[in-house]
Amino acid sequence: MKIIKRNAVFAGLALILITIIFFCFSQSVYSQGRKGFANPDKESMDKLESEYIEQVAELMKEYGCEYGGITMTKVYETDGSRSYKVLIHHRNLSFFSREELAELEKRLTEFSEAFQNAEFTYGFSYLS
């Protein structure tokens, strides 16, 4: 009888502990998901961002930087606004003058018009 009672207490404590762990984990995942943004057009934004990167890659081919890296970091603010940092990596960028880089940035900005109120920042990396 004593062993059965001890096993029942152990099983009860284990069940309570598992329930607490599950509750904490599920609330953590839930809150992280809810902290994002409840934007119904997230899929269309993802598609638009992919198309933007493809357009940037095509533009870079025109500038002789075909196999460069393109990094696009996005930040969604709590007020619903978005900002993007686009970093382009290619060794040939080291040969560009300031004017050529400014022209490239201007052309990149033209692609970003589809993003409406999003803020874009551009950076160029050419370390070898």
Domain 42-125 has CATH 3.30.70.1350: yes
Residues of the chain with pLDDT under 50: 30-35, 37
Q: What is the pLDDT of residue 40?
A: 55
Q: What is the pLDDT of residue 128?
A: 56
Our measurement of the distance from residue 52's CA atom to the centroid of its chain's CA atoms, rounded to an integer in Å, reads 14
**Tokens 């004593």, residue located:** 2
Q: What is the pLDDT of residue 118?
A: 87
> For the stretch 59-75, what's the b/e string if a residue is b when 16 or more beta carbons lie within 10 angstroms of its beta carbon?
bbeebebeebebeeeee
Q: What is the pLDDT of residue 75?
A: 87
